[in-house]
A and B are shown apart, each in its own frame.
Chain A
Amino acid sequence: MKKHLSSVIFMFAVLILWQMAAAGINAAYILPSPAGILVRLWELREPLFKVHLPSTMLVTGIGLAISIGLGLALAIVMDMNDHVQRMLYPIIIASQTIPTTAIAPLFVLWFGYSIWSRVLVTILMTFFPVTITVYDGFQSTSREMEDLMISMGAGKGEIFRRLKLPGALPYFFSAVKMAIPISIIGAAIGEWLGAQSGLGYFSKRMMTQLDGAGVFAPIVLLSVTAMIIVGIISAAERALLPWRREI
């Protein structure tokens, strides 16, 4: 805890300044105060926690699961086969140059306001960092260790299972920790562009009502949720990878 002390103090200082600035401007639709946002979060708790948070989490969960599955599969085939790697790698990079917000309305055309248009936005943003990070993890394992295993008579499958997979595990956790906030943002953008529920949609609705604190409340909820989930994953990582603790 001690090592986080300075950042906690800094955050409080920023919040206090913000609170004072908001009091000075005195126009909640331009700059709502932190206290005002918390009050609004409490007032809106029913729709936020019962309808919109679950809706966003559903999209995030499905999008994240598919992204991780897809990313892992792509990373594995690219690692196993150089031809596949040369074929896929540029396409995967190119997919990142597509402006998500521009193409998302097309997804709404395809899938309507069903969750799949939002899931697709989430996947489009998330699978890339997962794929690249896990692929880097596979590539990072030592060539010499591979040679050592070959000298012991190990085949390709054995090398993958006993060297590449455990060697890439730390990278996998990094990928997941990175992917969680990205997929939540992806889901929120998807909702913003076309949906009838979700925190992104709710934030947009509050904006049309010039409710500044109401715009911020779901955003605060989103980032707190992301932090909690990342915290859980970090704890799982520490439990599962004890050998990394003191390196």
Chain B
Amino acid sequence: MLDFENVTFSWSKEKAPLIKDLSFHVTPGAFVALIGVSGCGKSTIFKLINRLIQPASGQILIRGEDIGKSRGPAGYMPQKDLLFPWRTIRRNLMLPMEIARVPAKEMEERTSAMLEEIGLADYADKYPHDLSGGMRQRVSFGRTLLTDADLLLLDEPFSALDALTRINMQEWLLKEWSRYHKTVLFITHDVEEAIFMSDQIYLVHDRPIRSLEVIDVPADRPRTRDLLTRPDIVQLKSSLVDRLRKEASL
């Protein structure tokens, strides 16, 4: 689904590159968590995929095609919900379809269906400031789905939520993911969240980023939170936390 081929990138010519000769692959339909210490360049990888910035060299491919050729190649969900305060919930959901010039009738139908899907049909004509944090993230995720992209890039989508809402949203997101068969790349700081959600964890382990360490999560789906108390998973979690702490102190 997604391929990085020898990608090099630096924020400025004077600075050493942040990403050097990086190659990695994400298989279609996978749920991949991207973890690494703060400031290591995770969001930068997303910006490259979104074409907000250009690599100095190398190629990024989505479904085997260079992203340079496509318009809005991936669905991006930022950490802050970034809902437009002057748009109602319904019209916020419509934004990606307006940009993609989806015909009005189809847009109406898909928006109404999505409002049902995210459980906010009663809030269609409210404004974002009327909603709670969890509701706003659901709208933001619905908007990301309506980009119609097969690849979803989620940048710490739940980090601003309280612990309980966060757990609910994790389970909700997994349910949505299994329904839509999308490929998800999910940045998180939270090792537990990464293990609970993903098939593979891609760990950023060097600077500049030359490769990502791939760790398979040995668990079937559907998952319950009991998984997190299984001995081998507890083991995996503490070894990952140790790795990250060592990275952070470098």
Which single member of B74, B86, B98 contacts A151 (CB below 8 Å)? Answer: B74
Among B74, B87, B95, B130, find the residue whose CB has the most chain A CB atoms closer than 10 A: B95
Q: Say yes or no for B76: interface residue by CB 8 A criterion.
A: yes
SS class, residues of chain A in contact with chain B: helix
Q: Say yes or no for A207: interface residue by CB 8 A criterion.
A: no
In the assembled complex, the CB of A144 is this many whole angstroms from the nearest CB of chain B, namely 6
**Contact between A144 and B86, CB atoms less than 8 A apart:** no
Q: Say yes or no for B166: interface residue by CB 8 A criterion.
A: no
Q: Say yes or no for A36: interface residue by CB 8 A criterion.
A: no
Q: With A144-B80, A147-B50, A246-B129 given, is the CB distance from A152 to B85 under 8 Å?
A: no
Q: Which residue of A lies closest to B46 (CB)?
A: A151
In the assembled complex, the CB of B208 is this many whole angstroms from the nearest CB of chain A, namely 23
| Interface CB pairs A-B, < 8 A, 21 | A144-B78, A144-B80, A145-B84, A147-B50, A147-B52, A148-B76, A148-B78, A149-B99, A152-B76, A152-B96, A152-B99, A153-B99, A154-B99, A162-B95, A163-B84, A166-B86, A166-B87, A167-B86, A242-B127, A243-B85, A243-B127
Q: Say yes or no for B167: interface residue by CB 8 A criterion.
A: no
Q: Mark B42-63, 1 if CB is under 8 A from A, else 0.
A: 0000010011100000000000
Task: Report the count of interface residues on B (CB-CB < 8 A).
Answer: 25
- Name 11 extra pairs, CB < 8 A, besides A152-B147, A153-B100: A145-B84, A150-B50, A151-B52, A151-B74, A151-B75, A151-B76, A152-B100, A162-B95, A242-B127, A243-B86, A243-B87
**Contact between A247 and B85, CB atoms less than 8 A apart:** yes
Chain B residues with Cβ below 8 Å from A163 are 84
Q: Say yes or no for A28: interface residue by CB 8 A criterion.
A: no
Task: Find residues 159-201 in chain A having any chain B CB closer than 8 Å to their own CB.
Answer: 162-163, 166-167, 169
Q: Say yes or no for A158: interface residue by CB 8 A criterion.
A: yes
**Contact between A153 and B72, CB atoms less than 8 A apart:** yes
Per the bound structure, the CA–CA distance linking A163 and B83 in Å amounts to 11
Q: Say yes or no for B82: interface residue by CB 8 A criterion.
A: yes
Chain B residues with Cβ below 8 Å from A26 are none
Q: Say yes or no for A95: interface residue by CB 8 A criterion.
A: no
- Pick the 3 closest A-B CB pairs, nearest first: A153-B72, A153-B71, A151-B50
Chain A residues with Cβ below 8 Å from B86 are 166-167, 169, 241, 243
> How many contacting A-B pairs (Cβ < 8 A)?
60
Q: With A144-B78, A243-B127, A247-B129 given, is the CB distance from A150 to B52 under 8 Å?
A: yes
Chain A residues with Cβ below 8 Å from B80 are 144
Residues of A at under 8 Å CB distance from B?
142, 144-145, 147-154, 158, 162-163, 166-167, 169, 241-243, 246-247
SS class, residues of chain B in contact with chain A: loop
Per the bound structure, the CA–CA distance linking A241 and B127 in Å amounts to 11
**Contact between B72 and A152, CB atoms less than 8 A apart:** yes
Which single member of B82, B87, B99, B129 contacts A144 (CB below 8 Å)? Answer: B82
Per the bound structure, the CA–CA distance linking A153 and B72 in Å amounts to 4
Task: Find residues 63-113 in chain B having any chain A CB closer than 8 Å to their own CB.
Answer: 71-72, 74-76, 78, 80, 82, 84-87, 95-96, 98-100
Per the bound structure, the CA–CA distance linking A163 and B80 in Å amounts to 17
Chain A residues with Cβ below 8 Å from B51 are 150-151
Chain A residues with Cβ below 8 Å from B50 are 147, 150-151
Chain B residues with Cβ below 8 Å from A149 are 95, 99
Chain A residues with Cβ below 8 Å from B47 are 147
Which single member of B76, B99, B129 contacts A158 (CB below 8 Å)? Answer: B99
In the assembled complex, the CB of B38 is this many whole angstroms from the nearest CB of chain A, namely 18
Q: Which residue of B lies closest to A145 (CB)?
A: B82
Per the bound structure, the CA–CA distance linking A149 and B80 in Å amounts to 14
Q: With A151-B52, A163-B84 given, is the CB distance from A243 to B78 under 8 Å?
A: no
Chain B residues with Cβ below 8 Å from A158 are 99
In the assembled complex, the CB of A138 is this many whole angstroms from the nearest CB of chain B, namely 15
Chain A residues with Cβ below 8 Å from B71 are 153
**Contact between A148 and B99, CB atoms less than 8 A apart:** no
Chain A residues with Cβ below 8 Å from B100 are 152-153
Chain A residues with Cβ below 8 Å from B78 are 144, 147-148
In the assembled complex, the CB of A63 is this many whole angstroms from the nearest CB of chain B, namely 30
Chain A residues with Cβ below 8 Å from B96 are 152
Per the bound structure, the CA–CA distance linking A169 and B87 in Å amounts to 13
Chain A residues with Cβ below 8 Å from B127 are 242-243
In the assembled complex, the CB of B129 is this many whole angstroms from the nearest CB of chain A, namely 6
Per the bound structure, the CA–CA distance linking A142 and B82 in Å amounts to 9
Per the bound structure, the CA–CA distance linking A149 and B71 in Å amounts to 11
